[in-house]
Amino acid sequence: MRIIDIHTHPVFFNAGIEPAETQLIMRRARQLGFVHMISLGDVLRFGRNPDEEQSRIINDETAEIMKRGRGFFIGFCALNPLLGEKVVRREVDRCVGGMGFRGIKLEVSCNAQHPAMAGVMRAAVEHDVPVLQHSWNQLNKRSRSYHSDPEDTCALARRWPNVRIIMAHLTGCGFRGIRAARGLDNLVVDTSGGGPEAGLVDYAVEQLGEHRVVYGSDLPIRDLPTAVGRITGAGLSASTQQRLLYDNAAELLRI
């Protein structure tokens, strides 16, 4: 079975920065059938609001990981939308235009409904790349001003129907997040994050369709065989499993 992991952090709070550590991840992943991993960067290393220089450091590390991987790792450009459209555009041009990154990663600098998101989305349109937005249930938290609830990410997708959105963390989005995502053809949900809570993957496929659920792990916080087991143990047909584990990501990233 071929697998693309759309949600990984090969460098995580500076761990994994050494070449031998990258090789270890690749060796382990290849043994398990992985052919690509999307490297989203060490996005919280400088806190939730990295400045321009810090954003460049994070993305330069991703570029280094891509070089080491020789095609195995695909980079997404980590951005802080609050730095303004000019800075955002400069970094997207540098990473996507100059270094072969294939998407944009947004963490928790601002909520997905913040006006500053417009600059990011215009850059995504211009470069024709998907945007992966960290999303997590905010009902039990008080951080929604900067942390996106699945309903916020769905609102973003609704406002920008010509941008491909990846709503991260199926477990964090939960059943409510899946319900919110119905009817949004430009949004897929990735299966990363949290423990392997039962019922979510099959419910997402039932409610959204098999083309709108894509495998992700959140490595190194998550264990690869466990993350894959969420898909293979969800009672889906072999062809649907393959769609979630490989085909949907390949189509989304035009591999």
- Please tell me whether residue 28 binds another protein under the rule CB under 8 A: yes
Q: What's the closest the beta carbon of residue 63 comes to another protein, in angstroms? A: 22
- Please tell me whether residue 38 binds another protein under the rule CB under 8 A: no
List the one residue from 86, 98, 128, 221 that touches another protein (CB under 8 A): 221
> Kindly report the CA angle at 16 between 47 and 104, in degrees rounded to 5?
55
Q: Which stretch binds another protein (CB under 8 A): 51-59, 71-79, 148-156, 214-222?
A: 214-222
User: Quick one: which H or E segment has residue 156?
Assistant: helix 150-159
Q: What's the closest the beta carbon of residue 249 comes to another protein, in angstroms? A: 19
- Please tell me whether residue 25 binds another protein under the rule CB under 8 A: yes
Q: What's the closest the beta carbon of residue 15 comes to another protein, in angstroms? A: 10
Q: Closest Cα partner for 245 from 229, 225, 224, 231?
A: 231
- Please tell me whether residue 40 binds another protein under the rule CB under 8 A: no
- Please tell me whether residue 244 binds another protein under the rule CB under 8 A: no
Strand partners, 189: 167, 213
What tokens appear for 176 in the block? 């409510």
List the one residue from 114, 196, 207, 242 that touches another protein (CB under 8 A): 196
Q: Closest Cα partner for 230 from 188, 189, 198, 208?
A: 198
Half-sphere exposure of 77 (CA within 13 A, CB side): 31
Let me know: does 217 contact 33? Beta carbons within 8 Å.
no
Binding residues vs another protein (CB under 8 A): 25, 28, 32, 136-137, 139-141, 171-172, 174-175, 194-199, 201, 219-230, 232-234
